[in-house]
Each structure stands twice: as structure tokens, then as C-alpha cells.
A and B are shown apart, each in its own frame.
Chain A
Amino acid sequence: MKELSKINNPYSEGKVIDACSIFGAMDTSGKRFAGDGVIKAIANMHFRGNGLGGGFAIYGLYPEYREHYAFHIMYLSKEAKLEVESFLEQRFRVEVSEEVPTRHTPAIVNPPLVWRYFINVDAQKYDFKSDDDYVVDRVMEINTGIKDSFVFSSGKNMGVFKGVGYPEELAEYFCIEQYEGYLWTAHGRFPTNTPGWWGGAHPFNILDWTVIHNGEISSYGTNRRYLEGFGYHCTMQTDTEVVAYAIDLLIRRHNLPIEIAARILAPPFWDDIERRPVREQKLLRALRQVYGSLLLNGPFTVVIAHQGEMIGLTDRIRLRPLTVGTKGSMLYLSSEESAIRLVCPDLERAWIPMGGEPIVGSLERPLVPREVAIAGEPHPDVN
């Protein structure tokens, strides 16, 4: 999908100065909930974006097809759809194919055709590789090889809905109110340096990984070249894509825990490392040596999610905001505390984590951040 003349950007080349809005909500008990609160929260940060991108990722979305890869694909032409569908028929077992339900919304103009497919990998044909690797390769093949088509969601029991518009407008367009999930992320975009187009909206996805991002990754070129060596091709004209692929590489393929991956993306400074205990020094040095090309430079706050886990992370000098709130089994991550309070006024705890420290919500582990967060700790001797 390289047809960027079809971008709809009302601002043309003019630059509007805003930020991005990020919101994530997870019930760590696994209970599914509707997205009305998430939509309300992200809409409350309307002024952070400029209407050039909005989107949602929902986990626990398709329990009736939990074993199938759910592909969400955008098409800019009917020919592209025919070509991709014949590609899918040849390489997968396609169980269901249907148009993603949408409704007419005045704010959403020139939308692409969006379809979804529940598919299986035929194990007998392709047992030389893991199913996941096979799927990644095919997604890359479609996104780099077939004109006017774009796979923007490819995980199991989850899905991404996104496009050009404010997030609350996209929610209306994609009839988001009909869906439920135990983990939701939402994004309102202000494209910093790259075009505002349907594929460039957040969340970014590969397999069941999604990333939403506020900031700009100035190490994009270095990161992209490194990831190309592992078969990841950046096609979406925006920096956030590298985070999704980096996380897939580090956690799924190299089997590293998120705490280690966070130290690779946002490593401590060299002089900080020197003050750590010797064993930790060795580890941190080794990570910077082996994975130096995956260090993310520049300001960022990201919320990364995959099946069963939601992770909030900022750059090590926290040049973009992230606030955390908890109540019971619920974990909220947001650019602004006000958006969390709007949907959960009686938070048990709200705090601002240190730069570079990951905040992890997981179905498998209790809801306790393991790093010490200093801002916003309740005062022992007040009230």
C-alpha cells in the first residue's frame, strides 16, 4: 500500500502543533468489558491530537475464533482485494471472510474497504517454520508486495481498528460499542513528521503485539536497518512501527522477559550502570553491546500489549508523559490522569513512574509494579 497520494490530510503541508494521546485499560482478572469508558477517556484528550489518526486495540475480542489468526486488511481498490484473497486462499485455510461492520460517520471521509479473515496455517504444508513466523512472513509479503492493500491486524483473539480521524470518530465508524475485551488500548494521533494516512494510525500491530506511541523515535533508521536483518520490513512510513517489530523480536523470538526488553529499548546511562552492583553491571553492559541498535532514542511513551499483558514505558529521561492508575484488578495507563479519573474517579492509587521503568499489567501476575515509582506516592503522614 504505497499509494500515498490517497492520504487525506486537510492540513496539507501545514504543521499543527499538538501531542498524541495514549490510553490503556486492562482488567488483570481477565474479565471482558465494553469500550465505552475507553472511548470516553481517549475523547477527553481530544486536544492532544489533530484528527489525523485514531485507533483501538482490543484483546479477548474473538473468543469464538480464539485459535484462528484474525487478519484485518485495508483495501484501496477492488483489484487489491481480489489479489489478496487469492493469496490468502493459496497460503492459508480461510475459515471466515467478512467485511468489518462500519456505519456512515460524517467525520470519516474516503475510508478504505476494511475486511477481516479468520484463518489457519496448514501445518502439513508449512511445518518447517513456526506458525507465527510463517504469518509474519506472509504479512510482510502482502504489505510490501501487493499494491493498495495493507494488513493492519494479524493476531489471535484480538484486533485493531484504526484510521484517519479522531479516535472517538473512528469508534463510531467501526461500531466499537459492539465489542468486548479484557484489555483495550486507544490512541489519538498528532503525526509529527510523517503522513497522516489510514495505515499510519496507531495501534501498530504484528501478530498479537500492538504499540501505541506518543513521541518521535530519532533512532528509527538504525532500528529499522537492524530489524531488516531479521526479516521485518517497515512499510508504514512512521517511526512507531519499529517498536512493534523490536518487541516481537526480543520477546517472542529471543524469549526475553519484558523487564530485560525495557532495558534494551530504554537502557540506563553508562554512568548509571557503573553505580549498579557488579552482576547487574555485567548484564546491562552486555545488553547495550548486543542490542545497541535497538536502543530507542528520542522522546517516547509507548503502551505495548499482547495476549494477557499490557506494558507502559517511557524514554529514560521521560520526555513524554505517562500516568498510572489502579483500582482492584484494573490497571490504567494514560497520557493524562484526568482521563483515568473521568472513567474511574475513585482510583486506589495514581502515580507517575520514573522514565525507562516499565509498568506491567498481566493476567498471570498480581497487579503490583515492581519498580519504585516516586512521584505521587501517597504521603504517610497526610490525610
Chain B
Amino acid sequence: MTKSAYRNKDKRTVKIDAYGDTHRELNAKLRDAVSNGTLRIELQNVYGQRYIGTDLDKPVEIEIFGVPGNDLGSFMDGPMIIVRGNAQDGCGNTMNNGEIIVHGHAGDIIGHSARGGKIFIREDVGYRAAIHMKEYRDKKPVLVVGGTAQDFFGEYMAGGIVILLGLNLKEGEHHKARFIGTGMHGGVIYLRGSVEDFQLGKEVGVAELDEQDRQVLQKYVGEFAAHFGYDAGEILKHKFTKLFPLYLRPYGRLYAY
């Protein structure tokens, strides 16, 4: 799947007016369009239909105008979804491959159990973003958040790369999320901007960045900046902190007597 498969604005573009459709009707229309070889779909008047793109496995580009419903792109395997507005809860739930780009904020449990693909949120995310995100060999999900997050960010994370940029924090202002990385046992969180110790879960350690970390940030912050028109160099000048899991099985002894 290459970038040139997307961005094909003229060829095989389909416009769908989603007004009044149930989630089943809308997803059936998407399936039909994709099986006919459509490369790009414009969805107008989307008001809360759930699971958009859930069972698509082709590199189709779907641009959404309106507010997509919960579990946007859940189990999705390849498409690129661009949201011109805000996303609701469960965006990217158990997603396998593809990209979700939200030009706004997003609700709770963003990237819940994701096992591949990339999610870029321009503004803030709600509670429990990246909860139980996972990875296996080369399948490594990525979540980049431009704003800040509410509590339990990266809760029970088992894998993947999560980057919180805090671009809307004022000079010297801390992130506000508490219980960051509670129960984390895999993956990595990069924070731009500062947090106090009490905001971190008991299962995470704090480290300075090494060269490999910088390369990871360069790549994904670069992609974030390209999506939303930022200067990646400016963002990367700021100090980042790396959070990593202290234990592989933090609760291994909890129920064992």
C-alpha cells in the first residue's frame, strides 16, 4: 500500500450523502463502492453512524464531513479515513491497518486495543486513549495527539507508539491527565511538555530519549505536521519525555496466592 494509491481525487471518486442512513445502510454502501474499485469516497452529512469503514480492507480514502459515530474504523484493515470535524468515542477500536486523521478533537478510548495502523488527532482526546493498544512483530499501532489528554492516557498499554504533543498548553503549563500509563506493560509513550510524578501510573518509568526514539518521533511527528499543516521542526525542538513499562506483567501476582 503506497501513498500514491490515495490522493487520487479525480479517478473513481464516489460521493455519498449519509443523511438518514443507519450504520448498516451506510456501511453497506461503503462496501459496495469499494468492491466496485472506488479509490476515494466523500461522505456528506454524517451524523453519528457507527463503525464507519469497519469491514473494509482496501486502501480506499474516505473523507467524512460531519460527526462520525462511535467506533469509527473499528477492525478496519487498510483504508485512510479523514474526518473534517470531531470524532466520538472508540475511534480506531481494534483497528488492524490503515489511517484515521481527525481534524478536530476525539472522545474516549481512542485507539482502544488497536493492533496496527495510525491515528492522528489534531486536538485533544478524552479519557483512556490507547487503552490496551498492542503490537506483534512489525504490527505496531501509532497514535499521535496534537492537543492534550484526559485521565488514564495509555492505560493497560500492551504495545504500540503513543505521542502526546500538548500543542495547546501554555508555556510552563503541565498536562492535566492523571493515571498516565496505569497498568502499562508494553509499548512506549512520548510526552511533549511536562507532567508531575503523581500524574503517572505506578507501572511506568521515565527516561530520556535516545537516538532511536528521536528517529521514531521525527517520522511520526513529521506525518502529523504534514496532515495538519504544522512545522515539525518547531514541534520537535521542545523537550520530550519517554514513558516505558517497568514490568511485563504488572499484575502477575495480584490474584495468585
Contacts and interface: CB of A to CB of B under 8 A. Distances in A.
Interface residues of B, number: 39
A45 B126 CA distance: 20
Interface string A363-383: 000000000001111111110
B48 A338 contact: yes
Interface in A345-359: 350-352, 354-355
Contact of A375 (B47, B126, B198): B126
Given A375-B105, A379-B168, A337 B176 contact: no
B66 A338 contact: yes
A184 B151 CA distance: 31
Interface stretch (A123-131, A238-246, A316-324): A316-324
A95 B226 CA distance: 69
Most chain B CB within 10 A, of A323, A351, A379, is at: A379
Contacts of A317: 127, 151-152
A352 B178 CA distance: 16
B209 interface: no
A375 B88 CA distance: 12
B107 A382 contact: no
Given A275-B198, A339-B48, A318 B126 contact: yes
Nearest to B89: A321
Contacts of B126: 318, 321, 352, 375
A97 to B, nearest CB: 41
B150 interface: yes
Contacts of B48: 44-45, 336, 338-339, 342
Most chain B CB within 10 A, of A44, A45, A271, A382, is at: A382
A354 B125 CA distance: 11
Interface string B116-155: 0000001111110000000000000000001111111000
Contacts of A377: 123-124, 147, 168
A283 to B, nearest CB: 21
B27 interface: no
Contacts of A350: 86
A76 to B, nearest CB: 35
Interface in B11-43: 22-23
A381 to B, nearest CB: 7
B67 interface: yes
A306 to B, nearest CB: 28
A380 B107 CA distance: 20
Contacts of A272: 178
A341 interface: yes
A383 B122 CA distance: 11
Nearest to A340: B67
Contacts of A351: 105
Given A318-B108, A318-B150, A376-B123, A338 B176 contact: no
A380 B148 CA distance: 13
Contacts of B104: 376
Interface in B193-208: 198
B88 A374 contact: no
Contacts of A378: 123
A352 B150 contact: yes
B107 A341 contact: no
A341 B67 contact: yes
Contacts of A381: 167
A270 interface: no
B125 A382 contact: no
B151 A337 contact: no
A271 B178 CA distance: 12
B50 interface: yes
Q: Which 8 A/B pairs are nearest by Cβ-Cβ distance?
A: A338-B48, A338-B67, A375-B124, A376-B105, A342-B47, A338-B47, A318-B127, A375-B126
18 contacts: A47-B50, A317-B151, A338-B46, A338-B47, A338-B48, A338-B67, A338-B68, A338-B88, A339-B47, A339-B48, A341-B66, A350-B86, A352-B126, A375-B126, A375-B148, A378-B123, A379-B122, A379-B168
Interface of A: 44-45, 47, 271-272, 275, 317-318, 321, 323, 336-339, 341-342, 350-352, 354-355, 374-382
